[in-house]
Amino acid sequence: MSVYTTLTLKEVQDFAAPYQLEVIDLIPIQGGIQNTNYFIVCKNGSQYVLTVFEEMDEQGAGELVPVLEHLGQAGLAVPVPLSHSGKAIHSLKDKPAQIAPRMQGQHPMPATLAQAEAIAVAQAKMHVALQDFPLERAEYRDHAYWLQVSRDIRPSLNDADTMLLNNLLGLYDVLTAMYPNRPKGFIHSDLFRDNTLFDGDQLNGILDFYELNKDELLFDIAITLNDFCTEYPDVHLNEEKAIAFLNAYETVRPLTADEKSCLELYLAMAAGRFWMMRLQVAQKNAAQGRTGNDILQKNPDEMRNMLIERLKFVTA
């Protein structure tokens, strides 16, 4: 994640001491756009990830802890935060923060077919495990949320991009009315390759659950399929990998007929949402004067180009 909150080694040592951790080094992590993260290295050689939540309050950050514990109990490779004094979330520089084990592995760049299958199975298991999980979040980034983001962004778009966005939203309205059986549940919402860790084709870790959200399961599938089955900078979908991904997912949770009918639209819609998000983050960084080598700002045009490519296959 980008580093928005700068920390000294002494500050981290003081924060980590109640966890019985002797920190000797900290390494800022660049990647992602929401929170501040550091690797912390301990005297005994163990390593952890320190996260400072930039936009969540303590309650919002704490909501995720039982979710991760539940997923861990379901056999999924997720980083369950450490606790002391009866809770996992504590204050650091007046912001909520946590420490979790550092999971080992590499981001798949690009993903192999077997890695696409592995993440699809894990994603389906997450969807099933969280289907009836008793959690209410203060804000859900559902279609109403993204529709408002698009309205906020629209005045800054040129005419061609405004037409592109309007076309996408119009197709969404038509096709979702035609195919209403699209189950909802808790979804990761940000399950890109850089939020996974692999050792070869073995999935070792699923990271960054801070965008956990109640929305259509098909959106989660579309987000992950888009990323794992695309070989950037080319934004074309690798059909062989996409078919393998879907077949693997359905070994755990079969898609409804309406989900299958809407899949191509949702691949476009997922690209459109992240186009909007990247534009939104760029505007926020500019407004708050966030600059420097530790601030990662992903290119909105990458998602815009993917959106254009995916829309070629959508018909109403």
Q: Tell me: the pLDDT tens digits for 277-288? A: 889 887 776 666
Kindly state the helix (H) or strand (E) to which residue 49 belongs, with its residue range.
strand 47-52
Identify whether residues 306 and 160 lie together within a single domain.
yes
Residue 67 lies in a domain: yes
pTM over 0.85? The answer is yes
Categorize the per-residue pLDDT at 1 as very low, low, confident or very high, splitting at 50, 70 and 90. very low
> How far is it, in rounded angstroms, from Cα 220 to Cα 127?
9
Residue 316 lies in a domain: no
**3-state SS class at 207:** coil
Identify whether residues 93 and 214 lie together within a single domain.
no
Residue 168 lies in a domain: yes
Identify whether residues 129 and 254 lie together within a single domain.
yes
Identify whether residues 70 and 158 lie together within a single domain.
no
> How far is it, in rounded angstroms, from Cα 70 to Cα 72?
5
Across 89-106, b (16+ Cβ under 10 Å) vs e yields: bbebeebbbbbbebbebe
Identify whether residues 299 and 160 lie together within a single domain.
yes
Residue 136 lies in a domain: yes
Residue 108 lies in a domain: no
Residue 106 lies in a domain: no
Q: Which domain holds residue 39?
A: 9-101
Indicate the residue among 77, 101, 125 that finishes a domain. Answer: 101
Indicate the residue among 101, 124, 147 that finishes a domain. Answer: 101
Count of the separate structural domains present in the chain: 2
Which pLDDT tens digit goes with each residue over 50-101?
Answer: 999 988 888 888 888 999 999 999 999 999 999 999 999 999 999 999 999 9
What Å distances lie between residue 108 and 111, 192, 193, 204, CA to CA? 5, 10, 6, 11
Identify whether residues 199 and 163 lie together within a single domain.
yes
How long is the chain? 316
What's the burial of 180, exposed, middle or buried (CB within 10 Å: 0-12/13-18/19+)? exposed
Report the CATH number at residue 260: 3.90.1200.10
